[in-house]
Structure formats: structure tokens, C-alpha cells
Amino acid sequence: MPSVPGAPRGYSVVHQAMNIPSYEPAAALEFFQAGGEVENIPAGRTIFREDRRGRRVLLQRDKMYLLLKGRVSLTAGAQEIRAVKAGEIFGEMAALANVPRSATAVAKTPCRVIALDPRQFRKALGKKPAFALMLMKVMVTRLREAVARLKAGGPLRGDDAPQESAVFNPGLLSDMVRGLCDDAPVKFMRNQAILEEGQLGTRMYAVLEGRVAVTIGGAVVDRIGPGGVLGELALIDQSPRLASAVAEDNVTLQPINRNAFIALVQLDPDLGAALLTALAERLRYLTGRLK
């Protein structure tokens, strides 16, 4: 791997690993190198500010960062919620979901970072499509934690479940998938179970027709229409599914395996970015229910 000015000595997966399973700082470095440039930030500078009212401040909320050197403090209100160390990514949730920052980031020491705006992020995805899976791993770890905390708090209510935005263009997806995997579209009748909480899976599904209700503990937490996706956690590991899914009407789904997903992201980086955005919005919705 080429060296980066300001990267810490001994920069490696073992030495700089985040406290999140499956995160690989070396892969993150290669990804950020593919789309961004190194920036120096003096000690004491605010990198971005918490903005609970949704005001856009110099478009800074659109960037995510990889810290190469130094220490960054993330605070919500007057409380520090995390200290970012060299090799870690921060600011990705607001950048992906296009929502206000949930924290303020301040350089506690002189820092070097690589920042990616949405255009640069998509450029990097085209060069390093497998990174989409790694970033999904980071968010899925947080999803699992959020779901566990929600279940520990008692029965879930599903009366405010959102309608997930489309990730794929259903009309183009079949043509894109053809040749990338051998899975044909599958059909489900109204009220038929598609996925079951706790079951193992190897594929995610894109909705071509119909509508799917996603439930956790029997409560509806998502409604997914044409262009939306479900079961994407199966692309990452063989852990039990976090949620169940049932057809709300007659449904046609396109299965997508891991290799096909990586190929799709390489062909169309916007697709990978859209899937990460959908996952970030789902995580934001579930963590918002914990407040």
C-alpha cells in the first residue's frame, strides 16, 4: 500500500483497529485515498457542529472523515460521546443519510484527515466497491446493538414505521443483474412469509413489485416498496436475521448474492451509495426510538 503523509507509524489492521468487529483500517485508508486528499486541521478547530434543527452549515455535514493522525472529540450537548483515534472513520452517518449532525467534532490535537464529499465517495466506490460491504458491517453492528436495546426495553410499537425510499430502479435492475448471478426473481403471495427473524440467509432481496412489511418482535418497523431492499445483512455475515418480512400484497423479489452486489456497485457506484443511505436511515430511525 502506498504511504500517506501523516499516517501513523505502524499503521496496520492490528495496531489501529476500531473497536468494531470486521472494521479494517487498511482497507478504509485505501478507499479514502481513492477519492479524497489529505487535509491538516489545527488543534482546537471545529470540524463540524451538532445541528439538531437541520440547518446546513457550509455543506460540512455532507462529508465523512478518516482520521490519519491526532485525536478528535465527538460531543453531544456538553458530553463527550466518543474520542476518535487514528485509523477510525467519523461523520459517516450524517453524510450518508443527509441529515443534521448528531454531534460536534473538534480536533483535540493537530490532526490529519481525508474527507470525502458525496461526489468523492461515489468515485471511491467505483474504484473500491468491496468497501461498501465493510461500511455496511460497521452500521450493521450498530443496528444489532440498537435492536437489542429496543427489545430489552419491552414490546416494540410499529405504528410509526416509515416507508423506505427506493434504492434500485426496478425497471433496470433485472437487466443489470442478468449475467452477474444465476438467481431468478422469486414471487410471494399476499401474507406469505419471506424472511423469518433468527433464520440464516445468504442473499439480500430487491423488491421489483409489491410491498413488504418488515417486523421485529412482531412490530412493523419498515415498509418496503418497489426499488427497496431487505435482508442486506446476509451479504455481510451468516448471523441470524434481525427481522422478519411478510408480503403485504403479491410481491416479486430479485435475490442478489455478495459477488453480484460488488459487481453492481462497481458498475453503478450510485447504487452502492443509495443502499448505504437506506441502511443509515434505518439505523437512524431505530436509534431515534431509543431516545
Listed in order, strand segments (DSSP E) in the chain are 38-41, 46-48, 64-69, 71-76, 79-85, 89-90, 104-107, 111-116, 163-164, 186-188, 193-195, 204-209, 212-216, 219-224, 229-230, 244-247, 251-256
Q: Return the higher-pLDDT residue of 120 and 160.
A: 120
Q: Which CATH architecture has domain 13-127?
A: Sandwich (2.60)
Name the least confident of 134-138, 161-165, 185-189, 278-282.
161-165
pLDDT at site 288:
66
Q: Determine the average pLDDT of the residues in 136-162.
A: 69
65 burial level (CB within 10 Å; 0-12, 13-18, 19+): buried
Question: Does the pLDDT at position 55 exceed 60?
Answer: no
The sign of the dihedral angle between the CA atoms of 284, 285, 289, 291 is positive
203-245 pLDDT, tens digit per residue, is 889 898 999 998 888 888 888 888 888 888 788 777 788 889 9
Q: Determine the average pLDDT of the residues in 84-108.
A: 85
- State the pTM of this model: 0.69
Residue in 264, 63, 246 with CA at minimum distance from that of residue 178 = 264
Three-state SS across 197-239?
CCCCCCCEEEEEECCEEEEECCEEEEEECCCCEECHHHHCCCC
Q: Determine the average pLDDT of the residues in 51-80.
A: 75
The one-letter amino acid at 282: R
Per-domain residue ranges of the chain: 13-127, 155-288
pLDDT at site 107:
96
pLDDT at site 200:
83
Which of 65-69, 153-157, 269-273 ranks highest by mean pLDDT?
A: 65-69
- Give the span between the Cα atoms of 235 and 255, in whole angstroms: 11
Query: SS3 of 240, please?
Result: coil
pLDDT at site 161:
55
Top CATH class, 155-288: mainly beta
Q: Return the higher-pLDDT residue of 94 and 154.
A: 94
Q: What nine digits make up the cell of 112?
A: 490529519
pLDDT at site 284:
73
pLDDT at site 165:
56
pLDDT at site 204:
87
pLDDT at site 166:
64
- List the end-to-end C-alpha distance of the chain, in Å, as a whole number: 42
Supply the mean pLDDT for the chain.
79
Secondary structure letter of residue 80 according to DSSP: E
Query: CB-hemisphere CA count at 13 Å for 27?
Result: 15
Q: Determine the average pLDDT of the residues in 40-61.
A: 70
Query: SS3 of 166, please?
Result: coil
Torsion of CA 131, 135, 141, 146, to 10 degrees: -160
